[in-house]
Chains A and B, each alone.
Chain A
């Protein structure tokens, strides 16, 4: 079992994410995270899907998604050839006596404090999922009140673009 990240360009229409998530459910694919966003072209949105599985699951997820009419382009975002990023917001307990320690930790991770109250702080960190995991481990002892992660989003390195690929439904 391995973690895989795939990225896809979708037609920017209502119901497209339902088509995706419905397919995952009925084919029995378990998804770790999915993040969707707008793109430079108003006709398309972009999703990044992370899941844990074997090569068979990877091949079936990719092929079954590609068959959806609204999925235009899809590819595996290889860790070596792609920039993978995730954003974390975490609200920790931050009484005055613990604040300097927290500030030291956030300096090491290059995180930001984006909100402060007498008892709490919200920290923001962007990075690869592993880095976020490590950061969470370190600040856990201070007391995490709540947290939100965006899920991974990815772009391939170099000149290659997702848009250059062929749409399966036009290739048959």
Chain B
């Protein structure tokens, strides 16, 4: 059948299973928006800003495992996506970004709202396209979804000039071609198997790759079979149930003391879908410290990149476990598990504080269930959420790990909420929230059941913490002399707002907030000098952990 490019695009999105898109209309995507209107079956979530749309598509993908789709117009619409695309790229989130552009004949002439978005996004996408022939459009969209989901997942951008959207060609419906990961031959795992059997004190480090490969259940079986404790990177939280006795919490700069202690004692590290980022590894050169390092990763370039390994398997994590688990005998490691259990029970020390964020976050579980998505922005509140919200299931913690994007939270929470249809929590800070608070209007328009817990300490808390510890308490530009009334702000947008001012407020205010059907903001008045602890200073080792100040 002969269709216009815009209609072909919509049909191809539906071929790929897309039912929800996030975006913002404009001159060079008018035809695409007209096709969405005429089609009438896609749910389109209109945001306040293209950046919010990109984060929403990302949050949607993280919370559901589906591919996020975002649409923006040419020029500023396209450049507004860039932070969102880069955020998805750093955290390996499957995302397809569609931008309009000026007509092919106007490309390269500095036309109105023209920008070379393919050039701009080259370093932050897995791949990108400029479609210059309508006959190539369908194949390009199909390939983009395939690439976004193959191997290490990530964002792909398709730039579609305006004339391609109106020109016509033959379209034939084609079923979705899904990436089938290559199986791992059991024989290739002999050395790994031997190393695991020889290990006296193995420790599993689980990363976001476990969630990306949907390998959480296999990871749990692996840990049980091996009788090894499990630590998680920030991106891996939820991959292994936090309540399990073998779980020691997050590892790295703001990881638990238990994880640091177990790491120091471990003789074999098994890295599953994690890339030894500087926030985890600290001093790369000292990280190994005589340990055997085994790495499982789907991305060949991650193997030996930051930390040299003794053994590695480059394949889809789920396929590795599929081949490895049947070969692995049930092991007994009572002494080692007893030792780490003691680290776990030791607990954390808390500095005195009028309203500690951890108490608010620890209280959350009585209002949520194991499937509630919790999104965050970036900063102290993010680390507190990582430490104190206990994630039991994958895809429930939605956070910007690699890029550390302040302003990620509002969009991401909207996307997670739209994607799961569940009540969603956003933990944010007053710094991050001010970056993209405009998306409150989106949550209101969509009447989303979103609870925003704003950790309001009138400072850029994480930067202040570094200034306190490493810059002689010179608080350069981090004290926020703002007079924002968050309750009035929420109300002005059409949301509800509450103040949580002291410990006594925690239960009653959270109860009221969680009873709301639509978006609600809770202004949590926490102290300006509350710190995120433990902390390993940047570039240091697990021996340098600071547990109290």
Contacts and interface: CB of A to CB of B under 8 A. Distances in A.
B502 interface: no
Interface string A1-32: 00000000000000100110011001000000
Interface in B115-143: 118-119, 122-123, 126-127
A19 B122 contact: yes
Contacts, number: 39
Interface string A42-84: 0000000000000010011001101111100000000000000
Interface in B386-431: none
B334 interface: no
Contact of A172 (B119, B150, B305): B150
Contacts of A15: 118-119
Q: SS class of chain B's interface: helix, strand, loop or mixed?
A: loop
B497 interface: no
Interface in B222-241: none
A62 B300 CA distance: 10
Contacts of A169: 147, 150-151
B315 interface: yes
Contact of B301 (A22, A60, A171): A60
Contacts of A60: 301, 305
A70 B143 CA distance: 13
Interface residues of B, number: 20
B151 A172 contact: yes
B348 interface: no
A63 B127 CA distance: 16
Contacts of A18: 119, 122
B145 to A, nearest CB: 13
Contacts of B118: 15
Interface in B252-308: 298-301, 304-305
B523 interface: no
Nearest to B156: A69
Given A60-B301, A63-B301, A64-B301, A172 B315 contact: yes
Contact of B304 (A59, A64, A172): A59
A135 interface: no
Nearest to B147: A69
Interface centre among B122, B126, B315 (most CB of A within 10 A): B122
B182 interface: yes
Contacts of A171: 182
B439 interface: no
Given A67-B301, A172-B298, A26 B316 contact: no
Nearest to B305: A60
B181 interface: yes
A73 to B, nearest CB: 14
A10 B162 CA distance: 29
Given A22-B123, A56-B304, 11 more contacts: A22-B122, A23-B123, A26-B123, A66-B300, A66-B301, A67-B301, A68-B127, A69-B126, A169-B150, A171-B182, A172-B314
8 contacts: A26-B123, A59-B304, A67-B300, A67-B301, A169-B147, A169-B150, A169-B151, A172-B315
Interface of A: 15, 18-19, 22-23, 26, 56, 59-60, 63-64, 66-70, 168-169, 171-172
Interface of B: 118-119, 122-123, 126-127, 147, 150-151, 181-182, 298-301, 304-305, 314-316
